[in-house]
Chain A
């Protein structure tokens, strides 16, 4: 299995939306490499004719009847928001000014 490089950790961090510090990249590269090396044994069973289990229960989609029920008030729903305005979540800009 491939060793995990500093660049790969930086790529993973970008995918995972984590702004890692340079020293963290080196630290995690070594640790992730060790962990992946230790757990890679699972691939030993990959060729066998074994169906995967993603969940211990057979899951089915649950639908409920479309009826009006009490829910959180807008004030309650927004109570944990870092910023709010006009009864909405206020988020940082998504598009640039250009």
Chain B
């Protein structure tokens, strides 16, 4: 059983396709692992044992009948609890949706099912994807499998922790300001934020609509590419979905190379607030890229210094609008409906009872930034910064093919350490946010352990919009070189639970 859970998604799919393993065996092995360790990790909010086994049985039956199977047929996956799943609870990590069972599947959920991927359950997350630590979940925090007293990143901490604790070989996250890449970095896994609009947002509970992007989480670059190909592509149900072919990400992941590529290093992605061990591993990664045949180009992107500020005005503004739908009238929680309160009072009481502090903080921040008299100074100015950041990227990509940076300024911090200091928490997304504002694509992959705390460090690769394949080409080359250098994948060093 232990061997099954250590396989990559690509290996698992191959063994199921060849008949060496059945999908039911694979699913049972992962369900047993969840049973054994998730009490400690708390990666899952809901495990759909029966549903997963039924999907696995269906895959095995299809195979027995000789029907064509999807490329990831029978491979188990952990789905962030932000995507609707027909008949399976979806809470978005919030009390306001506790017990809600959606009557429909998100487009991403449908695509996973159509590809014969087995959905094990729904993973823990910061409430409404607001946070960098998964401590803001209404259902309690998730632990980082490298050190259970540390955060697994956020908001997709549950998905990344599920991967790093071998509870699933594949997971899905969403990235509004770094919520796929930041958890990937601190758990030693791979996370990709595709180009904005590449993966449908239909059925993905909205936080900040112009920034939110679903994407793949995995333990290897190739596994992420295989999942990327399954979930990406135009969706007529989402008006922000790009109608363009999916870039050849799997082919790129199978042919990793940086030979002759120009790789940018941005001056603004280092300095104060960066942990020494993170910078050390990043500098080594840049050296490695040189050794592999890349040309390194220094870049100056002055507007990146304002990205965090712009993000913390734009995202709350959009969230204050998006979360207006949670009014206690049509679905979810309702509080105070005792005949003595008006509809407006019931809405206010429901929202007070159903939302956690970070969500309230951002709703009020957004309400403030959008209010009359402050709109131009805050929201309007933030949108101008967004233009400047996009221009900085455009200029940069005239000179280079990809940009690299540390994914996060520090390794995983202790649970509770930044809970009462929102600004300190927000700094965790310092390097990831510019990409969300501009809409281009980015990946985080492991580049070693920081010497001072032996915790994983992430290397971020950024590509222009619709050039997602470059992430995989560079990522696969870097991954192969690191595995050769270390003698094994980094996750082999994760402590046993």
A14 to chain B, nearest CB (A): 8
Contact A51 B387 (CB under 8 A): yes
B210 at the interface (CB under 8 A from A): yes
Query: Given that A81-B330, A91-B343 are known contacts, is A42 also in contact with B103, CB under 8 Å in the complex?
Result: no
Q: Which residues of A contact B336 (CB under 8 A)?
A: 92
Q: Which residues of A contact B381 (CB under 8 A)?
A: 42-46
26 contacts between A and B (CB under 8 A): A4-B368, A12-B364, A16-B364, A18-B348, A20-B360, A31-B422, A35-B361, A35-B365, A36-B365, A36-B378, A39-B313, A40-B377, A42-B313, A42-B382, A42-B385, A48-B384, A56-B197, A57-B242, A77-B103, A80-B330, A80-B332, A91-B329, A92-B329, A92-B337, A92-B342, A92-B343
Contact A18 B365 (CB under 8 A): no
Contact A18 B239 (CB under 8 A): no
Q: Which residues of A contact B339 (CB under 8 A)?
A: 93
Among B306, B337, B349, B439, contact of A42 (Cβ-Cβ < 8 Å): B306
Give the CA-CA distance A20 to B330 in the complex, in Å: 22
A38 at the interface (CB under 8 A from B): yes
Give the CA-CA distance A62 to B240 in the complex, in Å: 10
Contact A83 B384 (CB under 8 A): no
A89 to chain B, nearest CB (A): 6
Give the CA-CA distance A54 to B191 in the complex, in Å: 26
Query: Given that A32-B361, A35-B312, A81-B331 are known contacts, is A17 also in contact with B348, CB under 8 Å in the complex?
Result: yes
Contact B364 A53 (CB under 8 A): no
B423 at the interface (CB under 8 A from A): yes
Contact B103 A38 (CB under 8 A): no
| Contact mask for chain A residues 38-70; partner B; CB cutoff 8 A; 1 contact, 0 none | 111111111010111111110111101000000
Give the CA-CA distance A39 to B305 in the complex, in Å: 11
Give the CA-CA distance A85 to B377 in the complex, in Å: 47
Q: Which residues of B contact A93 (CB under 8 A)?
A: 339, 342-343
Query: Given that A42-B313, A59-B240 are known contacts, is A50 also in contact with B103, CB under 8 Å in the complex?
Result: no
Contact A15 B365 (CB under 8 A): no
B376 at the interface (CB under 8 A from A): yes
Q: Which residues of B contact A62 (CB under 8 A)?
A: 236, 239
Contact B367 A19 (CB under 8 A): no
Q: Which 3 residue pairs are nearest across A and B when measured between Cβ atoms?
A: A56-B439, A52-B383, A80-B331
Interface residues on A, range: 35 or more
| Contact mask for chain A residues 75-97; partner B; CB cutoff 8 A; 1 contact, 0 none | 01101111100000101111010
Q: Which residues of A contact B355 (CB under 8 A)?
A: 18
A61 to chain B, nearest CB (A): 8
Contact A12 B439 (CB under 8 A): no
Q: Which residues of B contact A79 (CB under 8 A)?
A: 101, 103
Among B313, B320, B438, B465, contact of A16 (Cβ-Cβ < 8 Å): B320
Query: Given that A38-B423, A59-B240, A82-B332 are known contacts, is A19 also in contact with B348, CB under 8 Å in the complex?
Result: yes
Contact B327 A17 (CB under 8 A): yes
Max count, chain B CB within 10 A of own CB: residue among A44, A56, A59:
A56
A95 to chain B, nearest CB (A): 8
Query: Given that A39-B309, A43-B378, A93-B343 are known contacts, is A50 also in contact with B330, CB under 8 Å in the complex?
Result: no
When C-beta atoms are compared, the residue in chain B nearest to A73 turns out to be B103
Q: Which residues of A contact B473 (CB under 8 A)?
A: none
Q: Which residues of B contact A56 (CB under 8 A)?
A: 196-197, 210, 390, 437-439, 465
B386 at the interface (CB under 8 A from A): yes
B355 to chain A, nearest CB (A): 7
Main secondary structure of the interface of B (DSSP, over half): helix
Give the CA-CA distance A17 to B328 in the complex, in Å: 11
When C-beta atoms are compared, the residue in chain B nearest to A62 turns out to be B239
A7 at the interface (CB under 8 A from B): no
Give the CA-CA distance A32 to B360 in the complex, in Å: 11
Give the CA-CA distance A18 to B308 in the complex, in Å: 26
Max count, chain B CB within 10 A of own CB: residue among A42, A50, A51, A76:
A42
When C-beta atoms are compared, the residue in chain A nearest to B334 turns out to be A82
Contact B387 A52 (CB under 8 A): yes
When C-beta atoms are compared, the residue in chain B nearest to A95 turns out to be B342
Q: Which residues of A contact B377 (CB under 8 A)?
A: 1, 40, 43, 46
Give the CA-CA distance A72 to B169 in the complex, in Å: 34
B310 at the interface (CB under 8 A from A): yes
Give the CA-CA distance A57 to B466 in the complex, in Å: 12
Contact A18 B352 (CB under 8 A): yes
B241 to chain A, nearest CB (A): 9
Contact B364 A45 (CB under 8 A): no
B315 to chain A, nearest CB (A): 11
Contact A41 B306 (CB under 8 A): yes
B100 at the interface (CB under 8 A from A): yes
Q: Which residues of B contact A48 (CB under 8 A)?
A: 384
B409 to chain A, nearest CB (A): 16
Q: A17-B347, A79-B103 are in contact. List 15 more A-B contacts (CB 8 A).
A: A18-B363, A32-B365, A36-B368, A39-B308, A39-B312, A39-B313, A40-B377, A45-B384, A46-B381, A48-B384, A53-B386, A56-B197, A79-B101, A83-B337, A91-B343
Contact A50 B368 (CB under 8 A): no
A26 at the interface (CB under 8 A from B): no
B462 to chain A, nearest CB (A): 14
Give the CA-CA distance A59 to B320 in the complex, in Å: 21
Max count, chain B CB within 10 A of own CB: residue among A17, A18, A52, A83:
A17
Contact B210 A9 (CB under 8 A): no
